[in-house]
């Protein structure tokens, strides 16, 4: 066997070792059942099957799958699989859902009135879906950054979440600060603890 053939064979073996194992027939049929289910009551059974089959799902995701009260969806990641409450959304999906539910958050009039510019990055996770909106301050001398919660059921983009009990900051000074907060909220579903 010549040197080039050996290199090709070695590369094929390496790629096979790195490839994610495919979902087994049992897990695939359980996931189809989950997709059609109206709630998450079958999710602990699916978590057990995934763990039993040794599929690359983190322990955190398996625990989330076992304890979630809402329906989760399977998503492929770079290294394996993960579970999230809703299919990943893009800003265009949020705009469309908001418009289809008679929302005006993204209407040209609202954008013009507030001088706002929603950022394209969507933060989504077990804690919910959040976006960052950049807007003028009241005298239009500076730009401020607001974190907003998106409710996929109503299409609403709101300054509060968890039923209106927690208000989100609308006057953050930097894009980095706003995106860090949005990512934290998406992951944890609550505001960070105040620094002592």
108 in Cβ contact with 121 (< 8 Å):
no
Look-up: residue for tokens 């695939």? Answer: 28
Flag residues of the chain having pLDDT under 70: 1-24, 30-31, 33-41, 69-71, 73-87, 195-196
Last residue of one domain, picked from the residues 84, 113, 148: 84
What phi and psi values does residue 130 have, to the nearest 5 degrees?
Answer: -135, 145
Look-up: residue for tokens 């993204």? Answer: 106
Rg of the chain on CA atoms, in Å: 21
Range of the domain at 173: 91-188
pLDDT digits (tens, 9 = 90+) for 72-81: 766 665 566 6
**Looking at the structure, do residues 102 and 176 belong to the same domain, yes or no?**
yes
pLDDT digits (tens, 9 = 90+) for 3-18: 544 544 554 444 444 4
CA distance 129 to 122: 7
Last residue of one domain, picked from the residues 84, 111, 129: 84
pLDDT at 14: 44
User: Would you give the DSSP letter of residue 194?
Assistant: P
């Amino acid at each position: 066997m010549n040197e080039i053939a050996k290199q090709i064979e070695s590369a094929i073996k390496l790629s096979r070792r790195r490839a994610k194992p495919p979902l087994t027939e049992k897990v695939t049929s359980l996931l189809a059942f989950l997709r059609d289910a109206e709630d998450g009551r079958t999710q602990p059974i699916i978590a057990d099957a995934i763990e039993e089959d040794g599929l690359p799902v983190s322990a955190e995701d398996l625990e989330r799958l076992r304890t979630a009260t809402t329906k989760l969806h399977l998503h492929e990641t770079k290294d394996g699989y993960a579970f999230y409450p809703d299919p990943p959304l893009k800003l265009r999906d949020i705009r469309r859902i908001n418009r289809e539910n008679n929302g005006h958050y993204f209407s040209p009039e609202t954008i013009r009135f507030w001088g706002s510019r929603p950022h394209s990055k969507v933060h989504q996770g077990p804690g919910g879906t959040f976006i960052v909106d950049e807007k003028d301050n009241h005298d239009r001398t500076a730009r401020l950054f607001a974190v907003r919660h998106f409710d996929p059921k109503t299409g609403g983009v709101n300054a509060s979440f968890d039923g209106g009990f927690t208000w989100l900051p609308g006057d953050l000074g930097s894009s980095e600060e706003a995106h860090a907060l949005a990512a934290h909220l998406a992951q944890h579903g609550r505001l960070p603890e105040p620094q002592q």
